[in-house]
Structure 1
Amino acid sequence: MSEAKPVKVIILGKEFHIACREEERDDLMTAALHLDEKMRHIRSNSQIGSFDRIAVMAALNIAHELVQAQSQNPPPPQNNRAITERVVAMQERIDAALAAATPDDK
């Protein structure tokens, strides 16, 4: 595996630098685009204005989609740990990016 390097993603007009290994870069970019779309949809269809609140609502919606998909097509037991580890790693990257945002960004 390669060393993690910063990758720039833009979510809801805000720039974040996320550490990511080269072999995971495309997945990160796809995830960032999906998150951006979810957040834009929430912002345009609700009265929520805070970036943090929009991010939490988007995370809950995406987690709900994941739970539904897993209940319809449960992965083989040997893949559960790998999937959980990837979801946890992505959540840690999102948390780090949100924590790095300046108060003006929130």
Structure 2
Amino acid sequence: MKQIEVQIMGQSYLLGCPEGGEPQLREAVERVDAAMCKIRDAGKVKARDRIAVLASLNLAFDLVQREAAPAPAPPPAPAAAAAGSAEDDARAAQLVQRLDQALAGDGHLL
């Protein structure tokens, strides 16, 4: 497994990344960083762990809303494409869980 270093809210994290998954992981990091910075910049919450929890909840809520929203009927997709979407959601949830663990520990998401 490849390791990449990323920055979230100005702090470095060393992440394990499956082969070929770096673009998706970097996009996830950008979303988490943006969500956390938005909460921090609002000035109401100062503690990193609380910011991380709120950002995680906001991102998860967005996922739940997107899944619950009636989608227009797309053309029939291959089974592999449908499985990829659920897999992406599971990876995002796992990344959020690892971020929470890292904020409570040494800052490494391995």
The TM-score by the shorter chain falls in which range? 0.7 to 0.9
2-structure distance, mates of 1:73, 1:66: 13
TM-score by length of 2: 0.73
1:73 Cα deviation after fit: 4.8
Q: Which has the larger radius of gyration?
A: 2
- Asked whether 1:20 is paired with 2:17, we answer yes
Report the counterpart of residue 8 of structure 2 in structure 1. 11
Write the deviation string for residues 9-36 of structure 1: whole angstroms up to 9, x where unpaired: 1000000001111311111101111111
1:84 Cα deviation after fit: 5.2
Aligned length, in residue pairs: 98
Report the counterpart of residue 107 of structure 2 in structure 1. 101
TM-score by length of 1: 0.76
- Asked whether 1:86 is paired with 2:91, we answer yes
2-structure distance, mates of 1:35, 1:69: 17
Structure 2: gaps spanning 5 or more residues: 72-76
Given the superposition, is the C-alpha separation of residues 49 and 8 from structure 1 closer, same or farther in structure 2, using an over 3 Å criterion? same
Measured on the aligned residues, the alpha-carbon RMSD in Å equals 2.6
Q: Is the Cα–Cα contact under 8 Å of residues 2 and 19 in structure 2 kept in the other structure? A: yes
Structure with the larger RCO, 1 or 2 (CA within 8 Å, 6+ apart): 2
More helix by share: 1
1-structure distance, mates of 2:18, 2:60: 23
